[in-house]
A and B are shown apart, each in its own frame.
Chain A
Amino acid sequence: MNGRITTGMLQRNILADLQRSTSQLSRTQAKLSSGKEITRPSDDPAGTAKALSLRESLRGTQQHAKNVDDAITWTDATESALSSMTDIVQRARTLVVNGASDGTDQTSRDAIAKEIDQLAESLKEQANMRYAGRQLFSGTATTTAPYDAGSDAYAGNTGQMAREIGPGVSVNVNTTADTILGSGQAAGDDKLLDTLRDISDHLRAGDGASLRGTDLDRIDKGVESLLTARATNGALTNRLESASSRLAAVEEMTVKSLSDTEDADLAKTMIDLTTQTSAYQAALKAGANIVQSSLMDFLR
């Protein structure tokens, strides 16, 4: 292209070529030492945008996994409280059967009535169980105990506690005590507390007919409502556990495709580095030879 090649031109061309090789080498070295294909957005703008949205969905998945873990411990705590309640109600049922028989005298019935009262208090204690400082059975009024000592009235609310376990997927994790235990005799809602207080009254009054009749049915209904609550809660736990493993799989997939997008292919980069190093050395050697020699070396 150029008619006449001058010494300065040669030198400048060699310098420019060396510069190009060095900058390629430095980029490859940066890739190797950081392990990343993309170290700054300009390396691959489209890849950067993809990596950003992948990282965003990774964060989302991780947060959902945390929500699921929280929800699972919540349902586990609920289950353990409900299971204790079932034991208590079963014990109450045995006592009612004992007390209902006509062979039981009034002293024994009074004693049984006392125990029933204690069992009702235990039910309230179980309902007042807290998990991580929050009331399990109070709805969304998590700082208010569902039952105050000396009162059977439910003090919580019916709020649903939602946990987001996937994009746009929420589950309600809480069980409220009013659906199982109710608000006692004053409300007359036929729930467990109402039933137990009535049974205690019937025992003290020696009303064997009511005990044998409606009271047993009512306590059975109470057991049933407990079991229903436990079944719902258990199904929720199952669902949460499958969500947890699904989220783990999604997270792994996202991490993999993030790594595909922004991590350097080590073998390829290594080979690139070797190729570029030898090209650089060849350029250096050729440059050294050309720059040194001139016609002057061949004339005496």
Chain B
Amino acid sequence: MDGQLGQLSDAAAAEYATLTAPNGKVHLIAKELGQLNGAISDALQTGSTPNDLMDRRDLLFDQLSELGQVSLTPQDNGSVTVAFGDAATPLVDGTTVTWPQTLTTPNGRLGALKQLSDPGGTLDTYRKSLSAAARTLADSVNDLHASPPFFTFTDGSEAATLKVGVTASQIVTSTTADPGANDLAGKIAGLRSGSADAAYRTFVSTLGADVNAVNREQANAKALTQSVDDRRTSVNGVSLDEEMTNLVRFQRAYQASARSMSTMDEMLEQLIMRTGRVGL
């Protein structure tokens, strides 16, 4: 179990490193944002509106804010300054990209990965309490079964290294040498429901409560995200009904103006062809 926690922690650390590496995902998005900033301010200077470039830039903002906390500051020349996480220097300022930088609490996906894998983070805490439970078990048994110690372990990684340190013939059941005496074995059996059991039980229920809380928070965050997304799409989204209605409206307007053209034409025809037949 300790090994699995370790692998999980390593995997999270590796993913964090891949995302934040030079030419990793963050860097690539930042570079493209820099180029788009340049292209957009150039286009604005020549008086045109580069809508497709702006759309592309918005999409990149979305992708970047999945990875970490992003705050945007629009500049007068149409470029946008991007601050990322708690990095000291803006990630993108005009066409300048500053990456890699040190992040402490970047939030978003990077923040989660960092919190999982950092020393003192979630997985590290679990490994420590697992080790503490293993240590309690080993110590309480070893106190009674000291020579040779019943359990062996390495300090600091008890859960991973805990091993039964005796062979069947080395197990001592009594403080006397009599083969039928079992006072020590009885005392070890008496450790049942003791501090080691309690430590492990606490670990399991803490883990369960944590996962439970995280599941609830995830549901809340999902609902919030959806509500915010709804707000956004209610402003910039496309409603087919609305577009259809507009289409019909414009079609009707077009028909109406066509009709007024033909009416005008008929009037002129009347005027030119039918009146004042002079000279005929």
Contact = CB atoms under 8 A, between A and B. Distances in A.
Q: Do A and B come from one complex?
A: yes
Contacts of B125: none
Given A45-B208, A56-B192, A4 B239 contact: yes
A2 B231 CA distance: 7
Nearest to B212: A42
B154 interface: no
A8 B238 contact: yes
Interface string A31-72: 000000000111111101100110011011001000000000
A1 B202 CA distance: 44
A267 interface: no
Chain B at the A interface: mostly helix, strand, loop or mixed?
helix
Interface residues of B, number: 45
Interface in B180-205: 180-183, 186, 189-190, 192-193, 197, 200-202, 204-205
Given A161-B182, A162-B186, A3 B226 contact: no
Contacts of B212: 42-43, 45
A140 B176 contact: yes
A16 B222 contact: yes
Interface in A1-19: 1-9, 12-13, 16
Contacts of B206: 45
Interface stretch (A255-263, A273-281, A291-299): A291-299
Contact of B211 (A4, A41, A295): A41
Interface in B157-191: 174, 176, 178-183, 186, 189-190
B37 to A, nearest CB: 28
Given A13-B226, A170-B186, A44 B208 contact: yes
Contacts of A138: 180
Contacts of A9: 230, 233-234, 237
Contacts, number: 131
B215 interface: yes
A201 B229 CA distance: 110
A142 to B, nearest CB: 3
B180 A295 contact: no
B186 A142 contact: no
B226 A12 contact: yes
Contacts of B180: 134-135, 138-143, 159, 161, 174
B215 A8 contact: no
A57 B193 CA distance: 8
A157 interface: yes
Most chain A CB within 10 A, of B179, B180, B201, B207, is at: B180
Nearest to B208: A41
Contacts of A295: 240-241, 244-245
B177 to A, nearest CB: 9
Contacts of A53: 193, 197, 201
Contacts of B192: 56, 59-60
A110 interface: no
Contact of A141 (B179, B190, B230): B179
A41 B204 contact: yes
A220 interface: no
A5 B234 CA distance: 6
A121 interface: no
A194 B222 CA distance: 90
A159 B182 CA distance: 10
Contacts of B209: 42, 45
B197 A6 contact: no
A42 B197 contact: no
A6 B201 contact: no
Contacts of B176: 140, 159
Interface in B218-246: 222, 226-227, 229-231, 233-235, 237-242, 244-245
A92 B267 CA distance: 154
B248 interface: yes
Interface in A88-146: 134-135, 138-143
Contact of A143 (B179, B204, B231, B248): B179
Interface string A207-247: 00000000000000000000000000000000000000000
Task: State the 3 A-B residue pairs at the shortest beta-carbon distance, nearest first.
Answer: A41-B208, A42-B211, A142-B180
Given A60-B193, A295-B245, 11 more contacts: A9-B237, A41-B208, A42-B208, A49-B205, A52-B200, A56-B192, A140-B181, A159-B180, A161-B181, A296-B240, A299-B248
